[in-house]
Structure 1
Amino acid sequence: MSVTNGKFVWYELMTSDAAAATAFYRDTIGWETRDSGMPGVSYTLLAAGGRDVGGLMTLPEHVVAAGGRPGWIGYVAVPDVDRTAARAKELGGTVHRAPTDIPGVGRFAVIADPHGAVLCPMTPAGEPRSPLQPMGGPGSAVWRELLAGELDGAFGFYSGLFGWTKAEAMDMGPMGTYQLFAVDGETWGAMMTKPPAVPGPFWQYYFAVDAIDAAAGRVTAGGGQILNGPMEVPGGMYVVQCSDPQGAPFALVGPRG
């Protein structure tokens, strides 16, 4: 089994204005940006400390026509994406895009869990570009959070699909349980039943910054919105949950001061 199995290896923004989004995230998070050079595709790579973290591109017209809106999507490494897509259907999920090859990059599919949250399982060609550590320095994706349609059902789906296991569970009072999940014994993120005010289930990704208040200021200065925070989380760090100028939700985590 691949050492990357079940781990997030890429983060991709599908947006309505790629040029504006590139400028916003470059200024807000400090990512280095460059064109991927893929023939016939306009795809911008996002890097931190010289290492690629993710990419962004304009929403395809057929996705917009189907009601798609700007948002981030995570890629999870699997040994055999065709088998994973078939297993997702067996577990009650939906395959929105059948397994497809990206020359020189890998083979991926677009799936949704039984409640509608979307992910991309992927069998990378060679070593994935993204760091495989669950935490990292500024610009890295350091937390992955599912606001699920229903926690127990969602956890069963992802456990059956990727082999994720339960880590610590936090009692959030009226908000329910915040269930952390682990990959090969390392905690990579968490799930909880979404609050009623959240329109639909989705994955939210947290990117590291040097100083949370300064970064929050850059979000609003760049035309984004702060939806929640800054609020303290375990470990003495602070998070803000945001939306970018095109409406895609994302989050930042970093120290205060």
Structure 2
Amino acid sequence: MTKDAGIPAWFELTTPDDAKAQAFYAATIGWTIAPSGMAEHGEYLIATAPDGAAVAGIMTPAPGAPSLSGWSIYFGTPDVDAAAAKVRDLGGSIPVAPMDIPGVGRFAIAADPQGVGFLLMTGESSDPSTAFAQGTQHGHGVWVELATPDPDGALAFYGALFGWTREGAMPMGPMGDYVFLGSGEARPGAVMSSTTTGAPARWNWYAYVPDIDAAIAAATDLGGTLLQGPDPIPGGDYSANVGDTSGAQIGLVGPRTTAVT
């Protein structure tokens, strides 16, 4: 699993109904979802893209077990313990201190100075993570997005933590700038104001689908909600956000395969 600082390494859904979630995401994104096969992980489910790559986990945590609600993002780091200490030094917090996941790696639950939660991960394996692959790989994460009440403060925090740099911005008028993030040669996502856009203050992520209208239709047919889109984005694709049957939000990116009049 990738240990590159700031690169998304895994996505995880905490849900009250893993059976409904399994059906919803299999139909909406096209994942194959099955138990992890590791007894020590309990009933943890693994979502696999059509190319066979593991992308995300789905779980219903036991009472008192550490987790974030809805969808959350694990960001890679070479040293979880050092990164957790740096989070605190930069004004963030560590609600769950670093601990080991047998057979997977070491993780911690963190929150930035604005209170937005995320996770840190150092994988046991030297193999690169397969969860995040920008491009047109069906079912993979292709973009991450932070909505925050303090974009400048967040940029300073994550820049110091992960080495991210500001790589241009897209003006959105009175809603402010949509600021693109850089991590070495990677461009994993963007930051925007939750105050001016009205978006919930949170980390969001986008999965690639081959037909965004079909994905939205599958989501709404199964009781999900279309929250935004589909809207055109640079490069010719469209973006949308949907809520699943338990209210968890996820982003979708993909083409429209049928002309819309």
For normalisation by structure 2, the TM-score amounts to 0.91
Read off the aligned partner of 1:62 and give its amino acid letter. G
Name the structure 2 match of 1:72: 71
The answer as to whether partners of 2:93 and 2:112 remain within 8 angstroms in 1 is yes
Corresponding letter in the other structure for 2:175: M
In the alignment of these two chains, the number of paired residues is 253
SS at match of 1:181: strand
Q: Residue 38 of structure 2 aligns to a residue in which SS?
A: coil
Identity of aligned residues (%): 42
**Alignment map for 1:87-166 (pairs within 5 Å):** 87-126=86-125, 127-131=127-131, 133-166=133-166
1:139-189 CA deviation, whole Å, 9 max, x = no partner? 011110000121000011111111111112111101101000011122110
Structure 1 range deviating more: 36-45 or 103-112? 36-45
For 2:214 and 2:142, locate their aligned partners in 1 and report how far apart those are by CA, in whole Å: 18
Equivalent position amino acid for 1:52 in 2: A
Q: In terms of mean alpha carbon deviation, does 129-138 or 242-251 score higher?
A: 129-138
Aligned equivalent of 2:63: 61
Letter of the 1:106 partner, please give it: G
> SS at the partner of 1:214?
helix
Q: Is the Cα–Cα contact under 8 Å of residues 56 and 131 in structure 2 kept in the other structure?
A: no
**Residue 118 of structure 1: CA displacement?**
1.1
State the 1:133 CA deviation.
3.5
Change (3 A) 1:164 1:177: same
Q: What letter corresponds to residue 229 of structure 2 in structure 1? A: G
**C-alpha displacement of 1:37:** 1.9
**Larger CA deviation: 122-131 vs 147-156:** 122-131
2:132–2:142 Cα contact (<8 Å) kept: no
- Code of the residue aligned with 1:227 in structure 2: it is L
Give the Cα–Cα distance (whole angstroms) in 1 for the partners of residues 232 and 30 of structure 2.
22
Residue aligning to 2:182: 182
Q: Shift of residue 201 of structure 1?
A: 1.4
Other-structure match for 2:45? 44
Which amino acid in 1 is paired with 2:53?
Answer: R
Q: Which runs of 5+ in 2 are unaligned?
A: none
Per the TM alignment, residue 96 of structure 1 is displaced from its structure 2 partner at its CA by 1.1
- The code of the aligned residue for 1:61 comes to P
Q: Report deviation, 1:125.
A: 0.4
Structure-2 separation of matches of 1:178 and 1:197: 10
**Residue 4 (structure 1) shift:** 2.4
Root-mean-square deviation (CA, aligned residues, Å) is: 1.9
Q: What is the Cα deviation at residue 196 of structure 1?
A: 5.3
Residues 55, 132 of structure 2: 8 Å contact kept: no
In structure 2, relative to structure 1, the CA distance for the partners of 1:70 and 1:82 (3 Å cut) is: closer
Measure the CA separation in 1 of the matches of 2:132 and 2:196: 33
Q: CA separation of 1:199/1:4 partners in 2, compared to 1, >3 Å: closer, same or farther? A: closer
For 1:74 and 1:3, locate their aligned partners in 2 and report how far apart those are by CA, in whole Å: 14
Q: Secondary structure at the match of 1:153?
A: helix
Question: Residue 107 of structure 1 aligns to a residue in which SS?
Answer: strand
Letter in structure 1 aligned against 2:48? A
**Hey, what does 1:32 align to over in structure 2?**
32
Deviation, 1:5, is 2.7
Deviation at 1:128, TM superposition (A): 4.5
Contact 1:4–1:132 (CA under 8 A) maintained in structure 2: no
Amino acid at match of 2:60: T
Give the letter for the 2:95 counterpart. Answer: H
Aligned partner letter, 2:46: L
Q: Sort the Cα spacing of 1:183 and 1:133 in 2 relative to 1 into closer, same or farther, 3 A.
A: farther
Q: Do the aligned partners of 1:53 and 1:141 also contact (CA within 8 Å) in 2?
A: yes
Q: In the aligned structure 1, how far is the partner of 2:29 from the partner of 2:199?
A: 27
